[in-house]
Structure 1
Amino acid sequence: MTGRRRSFPHPFQTFSVRTACTAAVAAGASLIAGCGVLPGDPGGSREPVTVMTFAPEDTEATNMPGMPAMAEAYARWAASRGGVDSHELRVITCNEQNTPKGAATCARQAVDKGAVAVVGSYSQYGDAFMAPLEAAGIPFIGGFGVSDEEFTSYLSYPVNGGQAALLAGNGEQLADVCDKVSLVRPDSLAGDDLPDLLNAGLTRSKARESADILAADNATGYSGEARRARERAAEPTWAETAADGDRPGCVTAALGDRTETFFDSYRRLPEDGRNIRIASVMGSVGQPLIDSAGGRNGIYEGAYITGWYPDAADARWDPMRDVIRTHAFGDNSLDPADAGVQTTWIAYTVLEKAVRAIDSGTVTPGKISHILDQGLKVSTDGLTPDLRWGYEDMLGAARYPRMVNSSVTFQVVRDGRLVTQRQGFVDVGATLLDAS
Structure 2
Amino acid sequence: MTGSPRNRSRLRSSLLPRRPSRPSGAGALAAGALAVTVLATGCGVVPGTGGDSDEPITVMTWAPEKTSATNKPGMPAFAKAYARWVNAGGGIDGRRLDVITCNERNDSVAASRCARTAVKENVVAVVGSYSQHADAFLPTLEGAGIPYIGGYGITTDEFTSPLSYPVNGGQPALLAGLGRVLADACGPVTLIRPDTIAGDQLPPLLDSGLSAGGHGPAADQRAEEEATEYGGQAERALEASTTDPEAEGCVVPALGDRTSTFMDSFRRARADHPDVRTATVLGSVDQTTVNTTGGASSPYEGSYVTGWYPASSDGLWDPMKDVIKKEAFGDNRIDPADAGVQTTWIAYTVFRQVVESLGGGEVSADTVTRALNGGLKVGTGGLTPTLRWRFQDKLAAVGFPRMVNANVTIQEVRNGRLVSGRDGFIDVTDTLHDTDLV
**Same-fold call, TM > 0.5?**
yes
**Aligned positions of 1:352-371 closer than 5 A:** 352-371=352-371
User: Secondary structure of 1:424's partner?
Assistant: coil
Task: Kindly state the Cα deviation for residue 212 of structure 1 after the two structures are TM-superposed.
Answer: 1.3
Task: Kindly state the Cα deviation for residue 107 of structure 1 after the two structures are TM-superposed.
Answer: 0.6
The question of 1:32 aligning with 2:39 is answered: yes
Deviations 1:182-218 (A, max 9, x none): 1111223322221111111012111232111121212
Q: Which moved more, 1:387-396 or 1:313-322?
A: 387-396
Aligned mates of 1:103, 1:252 — CA distance in 2: 29
> Judging changes above 3 Å, is the alpha-carbon distance between structure 1 residues 36 and 295 closer, same or farther for their aligned structure 2 residues?
farther
The question of 1:134 aligning with 2:142 is answered: yes
Other-structure match for 2:422:
422
Aligned mates of 2:43, 2:326 — CA distance in 1: 16
Aligned mates of 1:84, 1:225 — CA distance in 2: 50
Other-structure match for 1:382:
382
Other-structure match for 2:347:
347
Task: Kindly state the Cα deviation for residue 101 of structure 1 after the two structures are TM-superposed.
Answer: 0.7
Other-structure match for 1:282:
282
User: Secondary structure of 1:124's partner?
Assistant: coil
Q: Percent identity?
A: 54
Unaligned runs of 5+ in 2: 1-31, 47-51
The question of 1:187 aligning with 2:195 is answered: yes
Task: Kindly state the Cα deviation for residue 355 of structure 1 after the two structures are TM-superposed.
Answer: 0.2
Aligned mates of 1:394, 1:378 — CA distance in 2: 18
2:98 to 87, 90, 107: 90
The question of 1:125 aligning with 2:122 is answered: no
The question of 1:51 aligning with 2:59 is answered: yes
The question of 1:114 aligning with 2:122 is answered: yes
State the TM-score, normalizing by the size of structure 1: 0.88
2:172 to 141, 164, 172: 164
Contact 1:46 1:362 in 2 (8 A): no
Aligned mates of 1:371, 1:188 — CA distance in 2: 36
Aligned mates of 1:37, 1:378 — CA distance in 2: 34
Deviations 1:84-126 (A, max 9, x none): 0101100000000110011001111111111000000000000
> Judging changes above 3 Å, is the alpha-carbon distance between structure 1 residues 249 and 288 closer, same or farther for their aligned structure 2 residues?
same
Contact 1:37 1:79 in 2 (8 A): no
User: Secondary structure of 1:395's partner?
Assistant: helix
Task: Kindly state the Cα deviation for residue 37 of structure 1 after the two structures are TM-superposed.
Answer: 13
State the TM-score, normalizing by the size of structure 2: 0.88
Other-structure match for 2:327:
327
Aligned mates of 1:218, 1:38 — CA distance in 2: 42
Contact 1:55 1:94 in 2 (8 A): yes
Q: Which moved more, 1:169-178 or 1:338-347?
A: 169-178
Moved over 6 A (4+): 34-39
Aligned mates of 1:188, 1:97 — CA distance in 2: 16
Residue 303 of structure 1 aligns with an amino acid whose one-letter code is S
Residue 235 of structure 1 aligns with an amino acid whose one-letter code is T
Contact 2:250 2:279 in 1 (8 A): yes
> Judging changes above 3 Å, is the alpha-carbon distance between structure 1 residues 178 and 36 closer, same or farther for their aligned structure 2 residues?
farther
User: Secondary structure of 1:351's partner?
Assistant: helix
Contact 1:38 1:88 in 2 (8 A): no
Aligned mates of 1:214, 1:52 — CA distance in 2: 34
Task: Kindly state the Cα deviation for residue 176 of structure 1 after the two structures are TM-superposed.
Answer: 1.6
2:70 to 62, 70, 74: 62
1:212 to 212, 215, 220: 220
Aligned length: 401
Contact 1:137 1:365 in 2 (8 A): yes
Other-structure match for 2:303:
303
Aligned mates of 1:165, 1:67 — CA distance in 2: 21
Unaligned runs of 5+ in 1: 1-9, 15-29, 242-246
1:197 to 205, 209, 217: 205
Task: Kindly state the Cα deviation for residue 52 of structure 1 after the two structures are TM-superposed.
Answer: 0.1
Aligned mates of 2:341, 2:288 — CA distance in 1: 12
> Judging changes above 3 Å, is the alpha-carbon distance between structure 1 residues 207 and 324 closer, same or farther for their aligned structure 2 residues?
same
Other-structure match for 2:255:
255
User: Secondary structure of 1:404's partner?
Assistant: coil
Contact 2:160 2:402 in 1 (8 A): yes
Aligned mates of 1:100, 1:13 — CA distance in 2: 16
